């Protein structure tokens, strides 16, 4: 696996950590705009906190109601009796400046500003209002996620500071997502749930009042709960700082990026969404690569590569072995690997001889290896995998085996070799099966850190991402 927090923490890093601790690890939260009305975002913000099992104090703020969701409600932020670390604000934009001033008076240091109607709107008053709240927040040293955000989730703190309670169901892990788009978060979180990908934090930074991509990346560089960082970028007003910070962070932890707004219509949509021009896609892509960031071509690839970086050791080179129970999928994987600069490993003479002894003559016994004739012999397939993993000319292994009734025991047979980390090489797997079949076996693999993917091309792209990041690390 990629290592997490390493080395000692400098005074500057500790200061950065402390500046965001009230935001991401609060002991108390107030919801301004809390409501019993399902049609109000404040209703859903309260439900999110409750559903996530937040262990700290919860203070709903409502001008008239004495109680909301079983919690005593308060008429204003200033009337909350205890210390407040984090404020979630879901009221109309015109009220926000006064609310931020009240938050400053009682010492709030973190704000999630759900409210829209700022820089993203066409009217110039929106940008002026955002400048005003940024001035207030900076003066009081309040870190603001938003405005125009869905919020964020910190699964390791049992904190869902968003308007989507169901995000609390996301599996807990060590991949964090920083997104300019709340809608993108609502694409990725369900995908992570569906495919059992463990997440640490899901953050929608929205219009970026005074917390930019670079600020979050600096924080996550030393976040012990984050091993891999995913970012979704439409555009940024300070690209230079983003890439400078990312260059430092990728030396510690992998960053995988997906850039939207490739063409003129996307650029226009990005501006209307978060108030930032998307910027020329080719320039961003080149800068990402120069900063050591792995660039993904789709949201699915973003998650797949991040999962591989979270679970697998880094390959020492770009030589891969492809093992498949069927020829067609191995061709698909070979094509993806070749397109991305990976090479098929030349096995040693010893490996070749042992594979020839294990597989019958009608099998394709060179790389890629067609294990089809041994498809129903689980023990033989396991032995082939072990032999290839022991080959010094192999930097990584792609393993594909589709279910058939006669090979049902296969995954149990592969358990020991796939769970082992002694070989030190990444192994990415694809085991397609009908619904209800191999469910327990796959779940056991997921829980023990085996990288599984549903299709051969996604399997291969995950390996390509591992190789790209490993190459960037070696070239530093």
Strand partners, 159: 154
pLDDT, average across residues 93-102: 95
| Beta-sheet strand order (sheet of 28-32) | 57-61, 28-32, 86-89, 110-113, 143-145
Domain final residue, candidates 280, 308, 336: 308
- Look at residue 5 and tell me if it is in a domain: no
CATH number for the domain spanning 182: value is 3.40.50.261
State the Cα–Cα distance between residues 130 and 97, nearest whole angstrom: 9
Are residues 261 and 363 located together in one domain of the fold? Answer: no
pLDDT, average across residues 288-314: 95
Are residues 246 and 261 located together in one domain of the fold? Answer: yes
Are residues 342 and 243 located together in one domain of the fold? Answer: no
pLDDT at 350 over 50: yes
Nearest to 305 by CA among 148, 185, 470: 470
State the Cα–Cα distance between residues 77 and 79, nearest whole angstrom: 5
User: What is the distance in angstroms between the CA of the first residue and the CA of the last residue of the chain?
Assistant: 19
Are residues 296 and 210 located together in one domain of the fold? Answer: yes
Dihedrals φ, ψ of 379, to 5°? -65, -40
- Look at residue 300 and tell me if it is in a domain: yes
pLDDT, average across residues 359-379: 80
pLDDT at 263 over 70: no
Q: What is the pLDDT of residues 184-208, one digit of tens each?
A: 999 999 999 999 999 999 999 998 9
**Burial zone of 249 (CB within 10 Å; 0-12 exposed, 13-18 middle, 19+ buried):** buried
Are residues 264 and 364 located together in one domain of the fold? Answer: no
pLDDT at 12 over 80: no
Are residues 85 and 111 located together in one domain of the fold? Answer: yes
- Look at residue 3 and tell me if it is in a domain: no
- Look at residue 6 and tell me if it is in a domain: no
**Three-state secondary-structure class, residue 298:** coil
pLDDT at 163: 97
| Residue 362 pLDDT grade (very low, low, confident, very high; cuts 50, 70, 90) | low
- Look at residue 409 and tell me if it is in a domain: yes
Domain count, the chain: 2
Are residues 271 and 361 located together in one domain of the fold? Answer: no
User: pTM for the full model?
Assistant: 0.90
- Look at residue 2 and tell me if it is in a domain: no
pLDDT at 260: 86
Q: What is the pLDDT of residues 370-418, one digit of tens each?
A: 887 777 899 999 999 999 999 999 999 999 999 988 899 999 999 999 9
Structural domain containing residue 268: 11-308
Query: Is 386 within 8 Å of 374 (Cβ atoms)?
Result: no
- Look at residue 147 and tell me if it is in a domain: yes
Are residues 299 and 321 located together in one domain of the fold? Answer: no
Neighbours of 262 (CB within 10 A): 14
Query: Is 131 within 8 Å of 139 (Cβ atoms)?
Result: no
Are residues 273 and 392 located together in one domain of the fold? Answer: no
- Look at residue 4 and tell me if it is in a domain: no
Strand partners, 230: 177, 256
Domain final residue, candidates 278, 308, 338: 308
Are residues 304 and 330 located together in one domain of the fold? Answer: no
Token digits of residue 417: 């070799």
Mean per-residue pLDDT of the chain: 90
Looking at 115-119, 182-186, 387-391, 453-457, which range is the least confident one? 115-119
pLDDT at 93: 92
Share of the chain above pLDDT 90, in %: 75
Per DSSP, 458 falls in state: H
**Three-state secondary-structure class, residue 280:** coil
Are residues 324 and 280 located together in one domain of the fold? Answer: no
State the Cα–Cα distance between residues 440 and 115, nearest whole angstrom: 43
Domain final residue, candidates 258, 278, 308: 308
Are residues 407 and 263 located together in one domain of the fold? Answer: no
């Amino acid at each position: 696996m990629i290592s997490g927090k390493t080395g000692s923490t400098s005074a500057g890093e500790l200061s950065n950590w402390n500046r965001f601790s009230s935001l991401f690890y609060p002991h108390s939260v107030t919801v301004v705009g809390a409501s019993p009305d399902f049609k109000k975002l404040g209703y859903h913000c309260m439900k999110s906190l409750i559903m996530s099992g937040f262990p700290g104090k919860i203070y709903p703020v409502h001008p008239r109601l004495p109680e909301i969701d079983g919690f005593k409600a308060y008429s204003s932020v200033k009337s909350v009796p205890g210390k407040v670390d984090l404020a979630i604000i879901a009221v109309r934009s015109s009220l926000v400046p006064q609310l931020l001033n009240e938050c400053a008076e009682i010492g709030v240091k973190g704000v999630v500003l759900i409210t829209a109607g700022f820089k993203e709107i066409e009217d110039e008053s929106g940008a002026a209002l955002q400048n005003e709240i940024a001035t207030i927040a900076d003066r009081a040293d309040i870190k603001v996620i938003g405005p125009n955000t869905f919020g964020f989730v910190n699964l390791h703190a049992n904190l869902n500071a968003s308007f989507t309670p169901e995000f609390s169901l996301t599996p807990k892990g060590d991949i964090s997502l920083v997104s300019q788009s709340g809608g993108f978060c609502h694409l990725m979180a369900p995908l992570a749930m569906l495919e059992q990908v463990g997440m640490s934090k899901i953050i929608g930074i929205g219009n970026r009042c005074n917390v930019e991509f670079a600020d979050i990346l600096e924080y996550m560089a030393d976040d012990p709960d984050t091993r891999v960082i995913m970012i979704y970028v439409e555009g940024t007003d300070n690209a230079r700082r983003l890439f400078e910070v990312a260059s430092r962070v990728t030396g510690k932890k992998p960053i995988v990026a997906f850039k939207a707004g490739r063409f003129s219509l996307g650029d226009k949509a990005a501006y209307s969404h978060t108030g930032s021009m998307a910027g020329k896609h080719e320039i961003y892509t080149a800068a990402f690569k120069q900063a050591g960031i792995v660039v993904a071509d789709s949201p699915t690839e973003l998650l797949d590569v991040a999962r591989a970086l979270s679970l697998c050791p880094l390959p020492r080179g770009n030589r891969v072995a492809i093992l498949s129970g069927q020829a067609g999928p191995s061709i698909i994987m070979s094509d993806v690997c070749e397109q991305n600069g990976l090479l098929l490993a030349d096995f040693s003479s010893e490996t070749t001889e042992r594979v020839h002894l294990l597989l019958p003559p009608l099998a394709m016994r060179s790389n890629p290896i067609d294990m089809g004739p041994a498809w129903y012999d689980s023990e033989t397939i396991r032995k082939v995998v072990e032999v290839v993993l022991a080959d010094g000319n192999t930097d990584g292994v792609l393993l594909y085996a589709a279910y058939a009734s006669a090979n049902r025991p296969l995954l149990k047979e592969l358990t020991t070799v796939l769970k082992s980390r002694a070989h030190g090489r990444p192994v990415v797997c694809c085991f397609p099966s009908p619904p209800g079949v191999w469910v327990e076996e796959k779940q056991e693999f997921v829980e023990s850190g085996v990288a599984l993917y549903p299709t051969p091309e996604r399997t291969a792209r995950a390996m390509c991402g591992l190789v790209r990041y490993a190459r960037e690390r070696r070239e530093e």
